[in-house]
Amino acid sequence: MNLQGNQASIREAIDAGLLAGAVTLVWRGGTVLQVNELGHRDVHAGLPMQRDTVFRIASMSKPVTVAAAMTMAEEGRFALADPVALALPELAEMRVMADPSGPLDKTVPAQRPITYADLMTHLSGLAYAFSVGPPLSRAYGKLRFRQDQDRWLAELAQLPLAHQPGDRLTYSHATDVLGIALSRIEGKPLAEVLADRIFGPLGMTDTGFAVTHEGRRRAATMYKLDETGTLRDDAMGPAQVALPKFCTGGAGLWSTADDYLAFARMLLSGGTVDGVRVLSEESVRLMRADRLTDEQKKFPFLGMPFWRGRGFGLNLSVVTDPAQSRQLYGPGGLGTFSWPGAYGTWWQADPSADLIMLYLIQNLPDLSSDAAGAAVAGNTSLAKLQSAQPRFVRRTYQALDL
């Protein structure tokens, strides 16, 4: 077995000036088979990528917040079918747009409450600015994140839903809303909820909504390809050591390859890692089970036929037909689960092969509505960069003879 060939596409992107660097990790059957430390976490400073480099993981935060929620559901703090308005009264009387492309003031009442399950599966009718069209997209674009969670939620609650709760999947701020609910139920900040229930038990010492002073030196710089194809390092400010006012459960975490590996191993093994149980087997089964109907899968996901051979659990995509899924999204056996981040971070766990793979980069994507699908799939739009991650995956599977 020689895994070295899986580096080629990543090195090509780095050499072409499309990518600063990457950290990848391949784990199988209890052993880390490979770690690639390629390129730089900061090009101008000459700082190399390292195994312990800290990355903004964007929507890879979502399964973590959902896992914390499931620990609370196991304790009877709420049920998945409960209305979330029990904890968030701001969402008690939601309105729904009468016409998805119509004016915001033409609405009808929601036919049923938004539930916790709706938030965990993006069936709530909430949205992102890039997942819906105008005029609702413009209204979402005005939401202010640099304020506390209660004020943000109050602003969000004034917007109509894109559709009736439960009707279809629209990628959304639902996990941010879920995080607020967890915070209120526990009576403590979301950062503490996740630390107590997920990070502490799993030993994820480098994961959180801010970095330590020492971790700041290991943080990867965020890059962006400008209109000329030049890689720029002014895409985002430096890593912050102070917690933000609003810790967003849907996109706000920092992490490392080994920390997220611990989380993925926990989900792969039915809720335990190294003898520590974090989730029950039933909670893990629910997270990894497809919940979408055939009718719901007919709707594209951010303009992509994302559900071909795939389903969706509790914020985890799930392979339901490996042959169909492989054509569009690369190899992965039945039940393979994942959820990527828009800055290029990606992972998947394949129970059929007892295999976990991670691919971590930092490139700020174009999140306009017509480019968001490629971003959420873990890549920016340039073909050579976009192909680096799937080629890494295919070559890894080939080397492992899977």
Q: Which pLDDT value is given to residue 48? A: 98
Average pLDDT, the chain: 94
Residues in CB range of 383: below 8 A, 6 or more apart: none
141, 156, 186 - which closes a domain = 186
Residues 317 and 201 in one domain: yes
Query: Mean pLDDT throughout 55-59?
Result: 98
**Is residue 261 helix, strand or coil?**
helix
Residues 22 and 118 in one domain: no
Residues 144 and 259 in one domain: no
Residues 233 and 115 in one domain: no
pLDDT exceeds cutoff 60 at 280: yes
Instruction: Provide the whole-model pTM.
Output: 0.96
Query: Mean pLDDT throughout 282-310?
Result: 94
pLDDT exceeds cutoff 80 at 1: no
Q: What is the pLDDT of residues 316-343, one digit of tens each?
A: 999 999 999 998 889 999 999 999 999 9
Q: Which pLDDT value is given to residue 94? A: 98
pLDDT exceeds cutoff 60 at 374: no
Query: Mean pLDDT throughout 235-252?
Result: 94
Alpha-carbon torsion angle 72, 77, 80, 81, nearest 10 = 180
Q: Which pLDDT value is given to residue 219? A: 98
Residues 168 and 258 in one domain: no
Residues 196 and 133 in one domain: no
The pLDDT-based confidence of 383 (bands split at 50, 70, 90) is low
Maximal C-alpha separation, the chain: 61
Q: What is the pLDDT of residues 100-143, one digit of tens each?
A: 998 999 999 999 999 999 999 999 999 999 999 999 999 999 99
Q: Give the position of tokens 């890689």.
A: 231
The pLDDT-based confidence of 376 (bands split at 50, 70, 90) is low
Evaluate whether residue 216 is within a structural domain: yes
Residues 124 and 171 in one domain: yes
Residues 249 and 295 in one domain: yes
Domain that holds residue 108: 71-186
CATH number at residue 26: 3.40.710.10
Residues 285 and 389 in one domain: yes
Residues 335 and 225 in one domain: yes
Report the C-alpha gap between 113 and 205 in whole angstroms: 37
* Tokens standing for residue 283: 């909670």
Structural domains counted in the chain: 2
* Tokens standing for residue 311: 């389903």
Residues 277 and 199 in one domain: yes
- Percent of the chain clearing pLDDT 90 (strictly above): 88
**Is residue 316 helix, strand or coil?**
coil
Q: Which pLDDT value is given to residue 379? A: 44
